[in-house]
Structure 1
Amino acid sequence: MSPQKWFLRRWWSDWRFQYQVWRTVIDWTVALYLIVPSLAILIDRYLAWWKEEPSWLSPLPPSSLVGMAFLLVWLGSLRLYIEPADQLFLLQRTEWMRRFLRTGLLFAWIKQALESLWITVLLWPLFRQKMDVSFPAVVAWWIWIWQAKACVALVKRRLTVMERPFLKRVWTVLFFIAAGIGFVTVGYEGIDNPAVLFTAATILLGCWMIWMRMRVREQGTWLQDMAYEQTQRLKWASFIMGKSGVLNRPSYWVKKRPWLFPRSGRIFRKQTAAHVLAEAVIKSFFRNGQQLIQYGQLVGVCTMAVVVSPFWLRWGLWLLFSLLLGLWVRSYWRGWCSHALFRVWFPEGSIPKSGFIIAFSVLHLLGFLPLSVAVGIPSFGGWGALWMIPVGWGAGRLTVQLFASWEVSTGVPSRSGFPG
């Protein structure tokens, strides 16, 4: 079998695996009552962008749209579908493996063309309302985003195989800043002059070909490549199983160098059982960078959704997202309570309800108050951000009480139940 056919076989196998993963959580009820209405709302908002400029876009400068495009370019990963058994070919069939990697990189390049086209189509009405760009400029933008996304993905993939975590983070941050400045500068200057974008895209294409040749001939990174591939393959499966409470992540409990609460000082002066429980949950959340990133992403998506929605829909989404954040916090709580050490501190049936309320209030309001401020600004202006803080706090407290009553009524003490 040729390397090209073997790569396509690997890709098809991974696609089927991801399909089976999502099939476990998306049935016809979820698709009918959640996905279909969400798609209908998004399509309606997108068509409205073509008719008139959205209210949240008017105060933003044109360069912010270019920065938004770069954030979309930065997302994603570059998969080569390498497996542990491929180490055998490294010694026996070096040229075969090089052709396999070359096929994977070319496949990723074509895939990024489609992703870049999606980004261009998504931002087209916004650029049209803000700067009235021409069709040749849109085509130039697509080609520019395509080549920029290909180079960014290839460099990010190279940074993932670095052995020292600290240097990896430093180089990733430096590359993000440098790439962002370069992308915004070239993209903003090329809005009125498509020749600038075509020239920059040609240069990036040459850089990508050179980096691809270097990547194909690179050796000594197979272990890091395989670890990266396994992480990407199981990313959504781990996320779904973790949120469902099937997997117990040690990172809930262990963080050697936390950014927040680095010392085990007391948050509450009074050390009751409820305060000890709430303090442990809050500290473990803030000491877990992965949870903070996921929670920030959820709040960011919800904030963007309420900002771009019309006035009549914004308040309904605000209440809906309060419940959604509550479900997220409850999922984290249940994963925390499922750990074996938890049963040492709080035996079955002895979890204080007040501890749940304290921890739930802090984690829920952490994301819901900024969301409430985001609802108030486009609805009532600058003063709306101020008076939405107490309104958001009151709505958040109602959500907390709702989930506290819900958890009490479930009657599952080994997972999340409380004494009646």
Structure 2
Amino acid sequence: MTGFELFQKRLNQHYRFYKRLKTVTVDWTVWVYIIIPFFIVGASVYIDLWNEVPTWPKLLTINHLLMFFVLYIFTSQYYSFLYPADVLYLWQKRRLIQTLSKMSIVYMALVQLLKMSLFLAILSPLVIKYLGLSLQAFFELSVLVYLLLIIMVILKRKAKVGLSKWKFRFTFFTLISITYMMLYINLWLNFWIVLGFVSSVMVSLFIIMISKCKNLEREISLDVDQRNKVSQLVLMQAAHIGAPDWMTQSNSLSSSRPWIYRKSQKIYPGYTPENAYQELIIKTFLRRRNWMFMYLQFTFVGVGLLILFPSWYKVLIYFILIFIIVQLARSYWNQIMSAQFLDLFKWRVVNLSNVSQKMFKLFLLPSFLILSLILGYTLFSFMGIIVMIVVGLALTRITANLLSQKVIIELER
């Protein structure tokens, strides 16, 4: 087997891995309620940006653009396409490793070129219309950013492979400073001088990366860690539709300690089965940081979207967010009701209908009120706040009752 054939095989395995992740987390409901509305709204906002309709981009400066580019550069990464079994098979086949390393860098450069083209196309109305850069200046800056991205991705991986944790952190922040400085210098020096220097560094790094095959175990562990992080991130965000519990729980002892109700203080004074269920649901939600952060994430990201988007989008975004919060509440209830802990005790007869109504109202009310207040104020100023408080309260009551009926029917099946 040649190195190119090995690369093709690993690339197919790589795509199959992400295809399996997609089939697990993206079904027709995600397309209908999230992806398709996102593209429709995004396309309309993009057209508005070219027409200079929004006013918030006028606050942007060239320094914000450079910091955005630096953030994009240092969140990029690449795979070496190595697997744990390669320690046994490829250790003595240095030519295969060199070819695989070369092809992985070439593949990374092509993928990053496609990603960055899309990224720059999205940014182009902000840069050209609001910041006033010419097409030539934007093109020159884009070329420099692309070359710096390739260099810094390679350097970041080399630092991860060869340095300890603290040395890597120091190197990482040093690279960030150098990248920002190079982009800033390009605004004042001749573009071709900066381009020649950056290109020579990139060619030197390419030769060094291909010629050296040290620390194969560390390279493999980095690839495994990256795949695991991607899987955990995707499944964590999809946890409310049925991902395993262990995907959203940390192994850290410090993070497993509850940050509230550490000594299990009672919330309700009386001991009744209903109070016990309600206390269990409330304390579990507050102690499981992933659930709480997901709830806060959807709520406050929604606040930002309602503030930034134009008027007629706000109502659509509002109802999409309401739907997401409702699905989150329903999934959390189902997870609690299916917990094996509840089977350890013989509970007295409990009216779960009352419990579910109270808990859904408690869960939905903060988010619904915050989103309703923001929508009312952005659309109708202070008069809208009064109207949308009533709408938020009514929507919470109606949704909680309907949701309660649905989950009780599911439990009785």
User: Normalising TM by the smaller chain, what interval?
Assistant: 0.7 to 0.9
How far apart in 1 are the matches of 2:44 and 2:144? 28
Residues 326 and 364, structure 2, Cα contact 8 Å, conserved in 1: yes
Q: Deviations over 1:177-221 (max 9, x none)?
A: 655555555545645767286367447636753773587433341
1:314 matched residue in structure 2 = 314
Aligned equivalents of 1:152, 1:339: Cα separation in 2: 46
Shift of 1:400: 7.0
Measure how far apart 1:298 and its partner are.
4.6
Q: What residue is the counterpart of 2:281 in the other structure?
A: 278
Other-structure match for 2:403: 406
1:130 aligned to 2:127?
A: no
Matched, 1:245 2:242: yes
Structure 1 pair 379–26 and aligned structure 2 pair: CA distance change class (3 A): same
For 2:264 and 2:309, locate their aligned partners in 1 and report how far apart those are by CA, in whole Å.
Answer: 42
Residue 46 (structure 1) shift: 1.0
Residue matched to 2:259:
261
Summarize the Cα distance change of 1:365–1:399 in structure 2 as closer, same or farther, 3 Å threshold. Answer: closer
C-alpha RMSD over aligned residues: 4.5
Deviations 1:130-186 (A, max 9, x none): 22111122112222332343344445546766998xx47x955x6776555555555
> What CA distance in whole angstroms lies between the structure 1 residues aligned with 2:218 and 2:244?
29
Partner of 1:78: 78
Distance 2:118 2:323 in 1: 31
Query: Superposition pairs for residues 104-143 of structure 1, below 5 Å?
Result: 104-143=104-143
**Which amino acid in 2 is paired with 1:198?**
L
Unaligned runs of 5+ in 1: none
**Offset of residue 129 of structure 1:** 2.2
The structure-2 alpha-carbon separation of the partners of 1:203 and 1:93, relative to structure 1 and needing over 3 Å to count, comes to closer
Task: Give the match's secondary structure for 1:92.
Answer: coil
Give yes or no for contact 1:140–1:197 (8 Å, CA) kept in 2: no
The match for 1:12 is: 12
Letter in 2 for 1:277: L
How far residue 319 of structure 1 moved from its aligned partner, in angstroms, is 2.9
CA distance in 2, matches of 1:22, 1:136: 39
Instruction: Tell me if the contact between 1:151 and 1:207 (Cα under 8 Å) persists in the aligned partners.
Output: no
1:92 aligns with 2:92: yes
- Deviations along 1:17-63, whole A, 9 cap, x unmatched? 43354346656676466533432221221122111152222334443
Give the 3 Å change call, closer, same or farther, for CA 14–148 of structure 1 in structure 2.
Answer: same
- Counterparts of 2:51 and 2:133, CA distance in 1: 15
**Structure 2 letter corresponding to 1:10:** R
Give the partner amino acid of 2:406: S
Q: CA, structure 1 residues 313+404, in 2 after alignment: closer, same or farther (shift >3 Å)?
A: same
- 1:49/1:246 CA distance change after superposition, 3 Å: closer
What residue is the counterpart of 2:145 in the other structure? 145
Q: CA deviation at 1:123?
A: 0.7
Question: Bigger shift: 34-43 or 120-129?
Answer: 34-43
Give the 3 Å change call, closer, same or farther, for CA 247–260 of structure 1 in structure 2.
Answer: closer
Shift of 1:102: 2.8
User: Where do 1:41-80 residues align within 5 Å?
Assistant: 41-80=41-80
State the identity as a percent.
Answer: 16
For 1:117 and 1:410, locate their aligned partners in 2 and report how far apart those are by CA, in whole Å.
46
Please list every run of 5 or more consecutive structure 2 residues that lacks an aligned counterpart in the other structure.
270-274
Going from structure 1 to structure 2, the CA distance change for 1:115 and 1:411 (only over 3 Å counts) comes to same
Q: CA contact under 8 A between 1:70 and 1:183: conserved in structure 2?
A: yes
Amino acid at match of 1:344: L
CA distance in 2: counterparts of 1:49 and 1:230, whole angstroms:
36
Aligned-residue offset at 1:399: 3.9
Cα contact 1:82–1:229 (8 A) shared by 2: no
Shift of the alpha carbon at 1:327? 1.8
Change (3 A) 1:239 1:183: same
Cα distance in 2 between the residues matched to 1:394 and 1:267? 35
Deviates more, 1:268-277 or 1:295-304: 295-304
CA distance in 2, matches of 1:200, 1:362: 60
**Rg bigger for which structure?**
2
* Larger deviation, residues 246-255 vs 142-151: 246-255
Describe how 1:10-409 pairs up with structure 2 within 5 A. Answer: 10-23=10-23, 26=26, 31=31, 35-154=35-154, 157=157, 167=165, 183-184=179-180, 186-187=182-183, 190=186, 195=191, 198=195, 201-202=198-199, 205=202, 208-209=205-206, 212=209, 216-221=213-218, 224-225=221-222, 227-228=224-225, 230-231=227-228, 234-235=231-232, 238-239=235-236, 242-249=239-246, 251-252=248-249, 256-258=253-255, 261=259, 264-266=262-264, 269-270=267-268, 272-286=275-289, 288=290, 298=298, 302-303=302-303, 305-344=305-344, 350=350, 352=352, 391=388, 395=392, 398-399=395-396, 402-403=399-400, 405-409=402-406
Residues 87 and 222 in structure 1, CA contact (< 8 A), matched pair in contact too: no
- Code of the residue aligned with 1:405 in structure 2: it is L
Q: Deviations over 1:279-327 (max 9, x none)?
A: 43223322x4xx5665666556545543442211213312321221332
Q: Could you tell me the TM-score, scaled by structure 2's length?
A: 0.75
Shift of 1:126: 0.4
Matches of 2:358 and 2:198 in 1, distance apart? Answer: 53
